[in-house]
């Protein structure tokens, strides 16, 4: 069922979709990790691909940047394409001294500076959390792939304003134990909850917001590879 943002037909997506932010990353994952990947959507250059990983159908589609963007694409995948699981594979800026560049951060919960949650008209502050089933499956693969030492699981922050991340703001969220800042997970988790579906956000740390360090492009690629393998090994077991 094509939508204004997605030209795929019903049945074109596998039940599990990996979502990087960047359309070029989606294409790279489809071409380098999936077998027999075919393009199922290209509206606005947001490539969606379906293929197999170790023989099991998996899709990958970009989310774009920010909560409104992932909000649209994940809503349509859940409601119009019968997708059950979305695993975001992104990057994040860490805000704890014990988290390092290239580490993996998994968002058990996601706070936000956005008003996305207001659409549900709830009389309180909603806790946007990941799917426990996806997290449990992912943690088994973290151990199998030997990634436990570099993986951190906890609260993250989905920020609406990349350039509004001031030292004072970082300090306050850090003091609450939040691991890292990215820009999409909270909307994804809320859409999953409202649809009765599953979501998980896995990020590699590309920026250290406490000391200003960031990854070279070569290092980004290597860290990215571990995260994609982790997400795909999880995807074929759920």
d(C-alpha 50, C-alpha 38), whole Å: 6
From the candidates 12, 168, 207, 225, which is the catalytic residue? 207
Considering only residues 134-163, where is the footprint of ligand HPA by CB under 6 A?
159, 162
Provide, rounded to whole angstroms, the least separation between the CB of residue 4 and ligand HPA. Answer: 27
235 binds ligand HPA (CB under 6 A): no
Interface segment toward ligand HPA; rule CB under 6 A; list 34-42, 117-125, 140-148, 178-186? 178-186
Which C-beta is closer to ligand HPA: that of 38 or that of 171?
171
182 binds ligand HPA (CB under 6 A): yes
Among 215, 214, 189, 219, which residue's Cα sits nearest to residue 201? 189
Are the C-beta atoms of residues 81 and 72 closer than 8 Å to each other? no
CA 108 vs CA 70, 76, 147, 202: distances in Å: 18, 23, 17, 10
* Upper half-sphere CA count for residue 182 (Cβ side, 13 Å): 32
Which C-beta is closer to ligand HPA: that of 207 or that of 233?
207
CA 120 vs CA 32, 85, 139: distances in Å: 39, 21, 31
Mark residues 32-71: x for contact with ligand HPA by CB under 6 A, - for none: ----------------------------------------
Q: Tokens at residue 70, please?
A: 């992932």
Provide, rounded to whole angstroms, the least separation between the CB of residue 80 and ligand HPA. Answer: 28
- Residue 22 annotated in active site: no
91 binds ligand HPA (CB under 6 A): yes
Which C-beta is closer to ligand HPA: that of 34 or that of 202?
202
Among 8, 7, 27, 6, which residue's Cα sits nearest to residue 18? 27
In this chain, which of 181, 186, 188, 199 binds ligand HPA, going by CB under 6 A? Answer: 181
β pairing state of 151-158 and 180-182: parallel
Measured CA angle at 71 (ends 192, 230), to 5 deg: 60
In this chain, which of 209, 215, 231, 235 binds ligand HPA, going by CB under 6 A? Answer: 209
How many C-beta atoms lie closer than 10 Å to residue 175's C-beta? 9
DSSP code of 12? Answer: -
Provide, rounded to whole angstroms, the least separation between the CB of residue 162 and ligand HPA. Answer: 5
How many amino acids of this chain bind ligand HPA (CB under 6 A)? 12
**What residue ranges bind ligand HPA (CB under 6 A)?**
91-93, 159, 162, 165, 181-183, 206-207, 209
Residues involved in catalysis: 207
């Amino acid at each position: 069922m094509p939508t204004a943002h997605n030209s795929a037909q019903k049945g074109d997506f596998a039940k599990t979709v990996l979502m990087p932010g960047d359309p070029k990353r989606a294409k790279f994952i489809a071409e380098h990790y999936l077998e027999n990947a075919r393009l199922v959507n290209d509206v606005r250059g947001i490539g969606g691909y379906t293929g197999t990983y170790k023989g099991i159908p998996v899709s990958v589609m970009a989310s774009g940047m920010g909560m409104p963007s992932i909000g649209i694409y994940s809503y349509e995948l859940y409601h119009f394409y019968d997708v059950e699981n979305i695993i975001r594979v992104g990057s994040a800026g860490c805000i704890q001294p014990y988290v390092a560049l290239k580490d993996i951060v998994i968002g058990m919960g996601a706070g936000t500076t956005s008003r996305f949650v207001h659409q549900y008209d709830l009389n309180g502050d909603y806790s946007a959390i990941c799917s426990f089933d996806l997290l449990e499956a992912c943690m088994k693969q973290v151990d199998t792939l030997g990634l436990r030492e570099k993986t951190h699981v906890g609260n993250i922050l989905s920020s609406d304003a990349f350039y509004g991340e001031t030292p004072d703001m970082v300090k306050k969220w850090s003091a609450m134990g939040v691991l890292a800042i990215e820009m999409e997970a909270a909307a994804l988790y809320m859409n999953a909850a409202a649809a009765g579906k599953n979501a998980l956000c896995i990020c590699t740390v590309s920026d250290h917001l406490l000391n200003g360090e960031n990854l070279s492009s070569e290092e980004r690629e290597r860290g990215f590879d571990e995260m994609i393998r982790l997400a795909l090994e999880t995807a074929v077991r759920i």
